Amino acid sequence: MEVKISSKEDFSLIEIIRKENESTSTRSLESILKSLAPCCRMIFDMNKCEFLSSAELRVLLGISQQIQEIGGRGAFVGLRKEVASLMYVTGFDNIFKNFDTLSEALAAVKGGNDNA
């Protein structure tokens, strides 16, 4: 798994890249914790994420809880069908919503949409 974090003017874009046949690694996901700040806005670009292990999902859940605890907002963009199904089954889709485009996700995390 590879995680790329880009700090934009008013949000952080976190690109998660994972092939289905790669081994599980939570270390790169844990690097996201360093980017957390009060009232942060984070968009997780999942377009290149083919799979999430239970360990990786657990780390993402911890990150999402910390984002909420510090008054931040988060959203997914571009969840693939298989990963979206996993998010639905685990209830993760109730924490962060998925959007088709970056602009939709950005509007949500900026507060223009209560579904983030």
Q: Enumerate the domain spans of the chain.
A: 2-112
pTM: 0.85
Report the distance separating Cα 41 and Cα 8, nearest Å: 10
**Partners of 17 in beta bridges:** 2
What pLDDT was estimated at residue 47? 95
What pLDDT was estimated at residue 10? 83
CATH number for the domain running over 2-112? 3.30.750.24
pLDDT in tens, the chain (116 residues): 888 988 887 889 999 988 877 666 667 777 777 777 777 899 999 999 999 888 888 888 888 888 888 888 999 999 999 999 999 998 888 888 999 999 999 999 988 555 45
Report the distance separating Cα 23 and Cα 107, nearest Å: 34
